[in-house]
Amino acid sequence: MTHRADLIKYIHVLKRDLGLDEDTYRSVLYNVAGGTSCSHLDEENLNLVYLAFKKMRDNQEVNSPAQKNPDQHRMIARLGYILKWDWNDIAHFCQREVKKQSTKTCNPAELSKVIRGMIGVIDYRVKCGVLMMNHTECFDYERHVKRHRAGNPTQCNRKETL
């Protein structure tokens, strides 16, 4: 495979990683190299396009901690569902816990603190009888939070199912 073919392959991999649609992809090609297709570009322009896409991906990774911590963000979403919180409620909780506007700007340690805080809220509400879970919900909750919690499992107040 030639260097040119490798560049085209890498450009298409970066296009996929960035999640670019065809119009955006062709627009970037045109703005960087003056063409709308890799097959029409020389090796020098392909290299410029490759570097531009690589820079876009690097910036996306730096600006999006959510992509680096998908498990923590899924856990926060799951806990928010249990608490019946929308993303605004979670953002307010995040502001209170770690002084960040949203979970998207948190590092892994801050996300862990938010998760532990949400687990504490759930445990407190269950203990007070404000939040009720059936057996399946309780089992699922315990399975997901066991590594984030120090101490005893929650004694779920179970809803009666008919």
* Position 93 pLDDT exceeds 90: yes
**Distance, CA of 106 to CA of 99 (rounded, Å):** 9
> Which amino acid belongs to residue 85?
W
Report domain extents, the chain: 3-63, 67-145
**Considering only CA atoms, which of 101, 117, 111, 122 is closest in space to residue 72?**
111
Classify the C-alpha dihedral 125-127-130-136 as positive or negative: positive
Q: pLDDT tier at 156 (50, 70, 90 boundaries)? A: low
* pLDDT at residue 135, as a whole number: 86
**Considering only CA atoms, which of 83, 87, 79, 4 is closest in space to residue 38?**
4
* Position 81 pLDDT exceeds 60: yes
Q: pLDDT tier at 162 (50, 70, 90 boundaries)? A: very low
Share of the chain above pLDDT 70, in %: 85
**Considering only CA atoms, which of 115, 87, 82 is closest in space to residue 101?**
87
Other C-beta atoms closer than 10 Å to the C-beta of 72 total 20
Q: What is the pLDDT of residues 105-115, one digit of tens each?
A: 888 888 999 99
* pLDDT at residue 92, as a whole number: 92
